[in-house]
Structure 1
Amino acid sequence: MAATTEDAMARGEGAESIDASWRQAIDERLQALMPVQALDGNPTCRELAEAMRYSLLAPGKRVRPLLAIRTALHFGADPNRMLDFGCALEMVHCASLMLDDLPCMDDASTRRGQPACHRKFGDATTTLAAIALLNQAFGVIARDSALDPSQRCWLVDRLSVAVGTAGLVSGQCRDLIERAGALDGSAIAEINHQKTGVLFELATAGAGGILGLADDELDALQRYAGHLGQAFQAADDLLDVRRHAEGSGKDIGLDRDKAGSVHRVGEQALRRLVEAELAAGDRVLPAARGEHALDGYVRALFARFV
């Protein structure tokens, strides 16, 4: 899974380029957006709230919100407008991890260096907490005072597509069912796009929409993020072998029998894929208009793999 690739990536060469102050701002905002015991005066199940916080607030590199923030910086715009939008993306991502780890799916025992949520809270509470996080994400965007109403509606619509039958849900289902058999490269790329690329595309193109970029720039950002998603998933597959997985905070060997895994195609093939996708992304990324380029952040993420 693309679960904690960002944790492992950031331990490699170039990690110093990742903006720790923005990660702290994201973590603080996520804390504020999470229910503790009551929400809007209504009682909230204590264990449900604890499971949500346990998973969402676990140490992570916050790649999806940082992509939105770095997109704003790339175009010389105010990144603060991206904070709640980025936090909503992190909630969706976290919800997908909680579901992916369940025994009926990947049956993972560890996530972000701690027991997977279902190991601590049980399958039922984990499932409900993931649904609650997903619901919370839509509400965060709908209530985001940094955006005008038309932008909120547009982002909610885009998020529903990214999560639904054309996005994360379909990608996980296809990963469970189709990758057990023989797949060609295009089918694996489609699954990887749905599992990972859709949220990367929303992070960058969604940020571009908030900034009011022209259609051609939004299209370029979406294509750039699509290549990034393919590179990210290939790098994550490399983490399924022990010598690459140190510090990743996740189980290894879960993808051993899946088409396209490092165990089937080999490390060199996946490394070449990472390099090719990053190069393809560089060719379509709009030129930076700010001093903090998006591509600099991305290259630091992948430094240990290329």
Structure 2
Amino acid sequence: MMEKELNKHFKHEHFPKVLKDAMLYSLEAGGKRLRPVLLAASYGAFQTGTDKILTSAVALEMIHTYSLIHDDLPAMDNDDYRRGKLTNHKAFNEAIAILAGDALLTYSFEIIANDPLLSSDEKVTILQMLSRASGPHGMVAGQIYDMEAEDKAISLEQLENIHALKTGELVGFAVKAGAFLGNASEEQLKHLEKFAYYLGILFQVQDDILDIEGDEEKLGKSVGSDIDQNKSTYPKLLGLNGAKKLKLEYANKAKESLKMAQANTDILMNLIDHFSQRDH
């Protein structure tokens, strides 16, 4: 369903060929689509069907993909592989990779603005939520703080703040956007926002754990890159067992917040365990 919807937004567009190729190269790299799945599950807690959220889910995946393309660049994490394939700048070149990321970011907002299934008010709200989550108040701020924390000793609170922004904001958008479009109440949105916060941090803790003991073949990239770049991580700060204990605490807090939302949240509840136990 997601793949068909993604292709729909490229099939008849006359972008420069190399730009379209580079955009689709990373979009079609076989990602888990966890954020779109989360958005659909959040919407499904209140409504049936998925048509209304598909464009927003595609836009979210575009922004996530743009961030990965730029993260992999030599000036950032300098990675050669992503999801088992050469990273975008290795498959094309650095300039094309930068522009492909730029194009995915800006195109994501265009397709939401043109979504025929959203009202004008819904478009404004979704655009505001997504731009805040992905921009200097959210993901980009987290990336800055993450780079500044390299080669430094930081506190658990500082590390949580980094990942609440870098990873958690887009996870939060997925949950809040789905619930908003599903007509959740203000009280339900409040509890779901807490759920999303814990889920986002939980996701990053597992990422850090997999960078130490993950299977490179399943991950599609090399392990140990965080250590090589002297990044601040949960295992580095708490030890591997301490990170696993913290992950369990976050999972329990996410479940508690989800129960408080009092909606049809079975799929979201299952996603907590999936995020916590994933191996890639």
Q: State the distance in 1 between where 2:139 and 2:247 align.
A: 21
Task: Report how far residue 244 of structure 1 moved.
Answer: 4.7
The 8 Å contact of residues 73 and 294 in structure 1, kept in 2 or not, is answered as no
Residues 1:26 and 2:2 are matched in the alignment: yes
Question: Any idea what the Cα deviations from partners look like across 1:103-142, whole Å, max 9, x if unmatched?
Answer: 0000011101100001111111000000000011111111
Residues 1:281 and 2:254 are matched in the alignment: yes
Task: Report how far residue 81 of structure 1 moved.
Answer: 1.4
Matches within 5 A, 1:138-287: 138-256=109-227, 257-285=230-258, 286-287=261-262
Task: Report how far residue 242 of structure 1 moved.
Answer: 4.4
Equivalenced residue count is 275
Q: Which runs of 5+ in 2 are unaligned?
A: none
Task: Report how far residue 296 of structure 1 moved.
Answer: 1.4
Task: Report how far residue 175 of structure 1 moved.
Answer: 0.9
Provide closer, same or farther for how the CA distance between residues 276 and 119 of structure 1 changes in structure 2, counting only shifts above 3 A.
same
Q: State the distance in 2 between where 1:248 and 1:281 align.
A: 25
Q: State the distance in 2 between where 1:86 and 1:189 align.
A: 26
Question: Any idea what the Cα deviations from partners look like across 1:28-76, whole Å, max 9, x if unmatched?
Answer: 11111126xx73xxx5221111100000111111001100111122234
Matches within 5 A, 1:43-82: 43-82=14-53
Q: State the distance in 2 between where 1:76 and 1:210 align.
A: 9
Residues 1:90 and 2:57 are matched in the alignment: no
The 8 Å contact of residues 95 and 134 in structure 1, kept in 2 or not, is answered as yes
Q: State the distance in 2 between where 1:304 and 1:78 align.
A: 26
SS in 2 for 1:157: helix
Question: Any idea what the Cα deviations from partners look like across 1:153-201, whole Å, max 9, x if unmatched?
Answer: 1111111111111111111111112233111011110100111110111
1:17 matched residue in structure 2: none
Equivalent AA in structure 2 for residue 240 of structure 1? D
Deviation larger for 136-145 or 101-110: 136-145
SS in 2 for 1:34: coil
Task: Report how far residue 241 of structure 1 moved.
Answer: 1.7
Q: State the distance in 2 between where 1:34 and 1:174 align.
A: 34
Query: Percentage identity across aligned positions?
Result: 31
The 8 Å contact of residues 71 and 204 in structure 1, kept in 2 or not, is answered as yes
Q: State the distance in 2 between where 1:143 and 1:80 align.
A: 14
Q: State the distance in 1 between where 2:31 and 2:269 align.
A: 20
SS in 1 for 2:184: coil
Whose helix fraction is larger, Structure 1's or Structure 2's? 2
Provide closer, same or farther for how the CA distance between residues 218 and 264 of structure 1 changes in structure 2, counting only shifts above 3 A.
closer
Q: State the distance in 1 between where 2:278 and 2:242 align.
A: 16
SS in 2 for 1:294: helix
Equivalent AA in structure 1 for residue 9 of structure 2? L
Task: Report how far residue 78 of structure 1 moved.
Answer: 2.7
Q: Which runs of 5+ in 1 are unaligned?
A: 1-24
Which of these residues, 111, 127, 143, is aligned with residue 82 of structure 2?
111
Task: Report how far residue 282 of structure 1 moved.
Answer: 0.8
The 8 Å contact of residues 204 and 225 in structure 1, kept in 2 or not, is answered as yes
Residues 1:297 and 2:268 are matched in the alignment: no
Equivalent AA in structure 2 for residue 101 of structure 1? D
SS in 1 for 2:225: coil
1:127 matched residue in structure 2: 98
